[in-house]
Amino acid sequence: MRILVIHGPNLNLLGIREPEVYGKTTLQEINRSLRARGEEIGAAISDFQSNHEGDIVDRIQAAALDIPRADGIILNPAGYTHTSVAIRDALTAVSLPTWEIHISDPSKREKFRHVSLVRDICVGCTAGRGSGGYIEALDGLVAHLNSGGEASS
């Protein structure tokens, strides 16, 4: 099983960016823990981070078109959660099961963060669980895939 983890804008600054909101765990530490958990449960993890919307769209498309194809995506769209129709459209186009993840809980933050443009096309969402939420997202997506779950739209 192959899982692509996509980290959106500013997540490369985890560990130093607003630690009171996002904690002190770095993106590299999150990716290491995901790879370790993936080994335990039989999932190969690849990760990608970009501050650029078009790069994220390109990577989503490549996950479905390149060989080997990803079986599912874990996506933290970060600030694009609330604004990116393009990322939503890419997810819909590729029909790969996708799990939305947020370190903080957007519903408990500023009002503009309460809307997710991708939530309704994802097979699950983990929010407000800190960096450990990524492991919950991986476990949830793998359970979904193992139960025969397929297209996310």
Query: Which one from 7, 102, 134, 144 is the annotated catalytic residue?
Result: 102
Q: Is 52 one of the catalytic residues?
A: no
DSSP output for 99-134: EEEESS-GGGS-GGGG--SSGGGSSEEEESSGGGHH
Q: What is the dihedral of CA 108, 137, 76, 73, to 10 degrees?
A: -150
CB distance 140 to 99 below 8 Å:
yes
Q: Is 80 one of the catalytic residues?
A: no
Query: Which one from 7, 22, 134, 144 is the annotated catalytic residue?
Result: 22
Q: Which helix (H) or strand (E) holds 46?
A: strand 44-49
Residues designated as active site: 22, 102
